[in-house]
Amino acid sequence: MPKPGRNDQCPCGSGRKYKRCCLEKEAEWSREALPPGRCRFEPGSYGGPGRGYMPSIMCCQEHGPESWKEDYCLVRPDAMFDDEDAATEMARQSLDTARDRQTEGGGPKEFALSLRHEGYKKISDFRVVPEGGQGTRYDD
């Protein structure tokens, strides 16, 4: 996804111009230091039976040698699926796209901005629900 122009609609879906919405947030965010330690990202789904599933990406932070802990979850609220595997597959594709951007020289911040531009929102209040499917389901 190409970077939006200042006067374009914001890709977050707010309906506002990019310069009045996420541009300011992203400029502030880019000045912040990245968290210490390594991060691992895992695709999954957020929601449950009867409510639907949204694509989600869990960020796990390294807390020691081969010791990982769930830190936060990214959810794409504008994409709802009845099928858990379909939601997980969309999250997997989003991760692949973001990783490609990072590999092309964008670095970790470009990786994060790519996911934000696709509509992912950070949530911190979640619980992990291991299930069958292709990934892990996260729930509120």
The answer to whether the pTM exceeds 0.95 is no
Spatial CB neighbours of 8, under 8 Å, sequence gap ≥ 6 = 17, 18
Structure tokens given for 33: 């230091």
Per cent of the chain over pLDDT 90 is: 21
For residue 37, the model assigns a pLDDT of 57
* Residues 109 and 130 reside in one and the same domain: yes
For residue 123, the model assigns a pLDDT of 83
- Domain total of the chain: 2
Q: What are the pLDDT digits (tens) for 90-109?
A: 999 999 998 888 787 777 77
Q: What are the pLDDT digits (tens) for 27-76?
A: 665 555 545 557 888 899 888 888 899 999 988 888 777 778 888 889 99
Spatial CB neighbours of 80, under 8 Å, sequence gap ≥ 6 = 47, 52, 53, 54
Q: Select the more confidently predicted residue: 15 or 96.
A: 96
* Residues 1 and 16 reside in one and the same domain: yes
* Residues 79 and 10 reside in one and the same domain: no
Residues of the domain holding 19:
1-32
* Residues 26 and 45 reside in one and the same domain: no
With CA atoms as reference, report the closest residue to 91 among 50, 59, 132.
59
Spatial CB neighbours of 96, under 8 Å, sequence gap ≥ 6 = none
* Residues 27 and 44 reside in one and the same domain: no
Q: What are phi and psi of 89, to 5 degrees?
A: -65, -40
